[in-house]
Amino acid sequence: MMYWSSISFALLILLSAGFFILGIYRFWSDYWGKNAAIIKARLRVITGDLHVDSQSLLKTRQLSHVNWINNILRRIPRIEGLDIFLTQAGMTFNVSAFITRCILLILATFVLGLSMDALSRIQFIYCIIPLLIWITYLQHKRRQRVLQIEAQLPDTLDLMARAMQAGHAFSSALLIVGSEGAPPIQIEFQTTFDEINFGISTETALHHLTQRVASRDLRFFVVATLIQLETGGNLTEILKSLAGLIRDRQRIAGSVRVLSAEGRLSAWILGGLPFVIAATLSIISPDFISKLWTEELGILMLEISLSLMAVGIWWMWNMVRVRI
């Protein structure tokens, strides 16, 4: 026990030293680093002391604020998919910050697991479970953001159609939504208008919109708009018809959700009941439940049970999930 306490104390000292060094680096970066130089250059542009190309002022999403870390991350295959996932979840931190938080979460869980009289295999599971919970939370945030945007989309399309009937252009209709709409769809349409206003083509700006929002209804809007821009037609009527179609789909989806509520509730109960029972037994009889992570047979039973539970939860979730 004294051995594990020494290791835990050493790890905490290393973490404290790492945070201290990181704080010194951030302090230096804020006053003398690259970001400070960029801010000074922009201030000089505003005051007229420096002339730069306007394209250099376009917002770019970096994987890390540190150049060498950003270069390393860009060499990782499919890393842009993780960046798109964080954007769709509405997170403000970048990929580097996400990876850092995941590493700190694993280290913190590992340090806490050292105090338990458990085998190395179960300690590995303890380190992975909080990471899975963190990723599941981000997935939930992404889903909730998409649902909120989809709920706002029909009224947004009606607003754009009325604005275009009043004589506004398509980009002006985007600006009206960006100034009079409600978040989060207001932020996304404002960003799309800003990109078009900076000189990016409408097709590219709308493609960026579909990347930031993982919504099938929003893709319908983008595809219909791009087809109208290429072939011509009455975009106002197209937006009105699309708004009605999306409302009908949402009405049907709501009916299906009500009818499948019993199955989803059963899935939640069956999925969470074993963990509740395990937590209760760990309080009432810790010596009895601790056999699951202190003996080889208990760990084997735990691994098989968790695997079967994962398959069962996936199966129940797909049974109550109806695509419309």
The pLDDT tens digits along the chain (324 residues) read 555 566 666 666 777 777 777 777 776 666 666 666 666 666 665 555 544 444 444 456 677 777 778 788 878 888 888 888 888 888 888 888 888 888 888 787 777 666 655 555 566 666 777 788 888 888 889 989 998 998 899 999 999 989 888 888 888 888 888 888 888 888 889 989 988 888 888 888 898 898 888 888 899 889 888 888 888 778 888 888 988 988 888 888 888 878 877 777 887 888 788 888 888 888 888 888 877 777 778 878 887 888 888 888 788 777 767 666
**pLDDT of res. 52:** 45
Q: How far is CA 74 from CA 34, 94, 165, in A?
A: 19, 13, 45
93 burial level (CB within 10 Å; 0-12, 13-18, 19+): exposed
Q: Are 15 and 107 in contact (CB under 8 A)?
A: yes
- What ranges do the domains of the chain cover? 2-48+67-125, 152-247, 260-320
**pLDDT of res. 27:** 67
**pLDDT of res. 55:** 44
CATH architecture of 152-247: Up-down Bundle (1.20)
**pLDDT of res. 314:** 82
Q: Are 205 and 192 in contact (CB under 8 A)?
A: yes
Q: What are phi and psi of 196, to 5 degrees?
A: -65, -40
Q: What are phi and psi of 263, to 5 degrees?
A: -65, -40
**pLDDT of res. 173:** 87
Q: Are 90 and 141 in contact (CB under 8 A)?
A: yes
Three-state SS for the chain is CHHHHHHHHHHHHHHHHHHHHHHHHHHHHHHHCHHHHHHHHHHHHHHCCCCCCHHHHCCCCCCCCCHHHHHHHHCCCCHHHHHHHHHHCCCCCCHHHHHHHHHHHHHHHHHHHHCCCCCHHHHHHHHHHHHHHHHHHHHHHHHHHHHHHHHHHHHHHHHHHHHHHCCCCHHHHHHHHHHHCCCCHHHHHHHHHHHHHCCCCHHHHHHHHHHHCCCHHHHHHHHHHHHHHHHCCCHHHHHHHHHHHHHHHHHHHHHHHHHCHHHHHHHHHHHHHHHHHHHHHHHHCHHHHCHHHHCHHHHHHHHHHHHHHHHHHHHHHHHHCCCC
Copy the structure tokens of residue 285.
């009889």
Q: Are 162 and 180 in contact (CB under 8 A)?
A: no
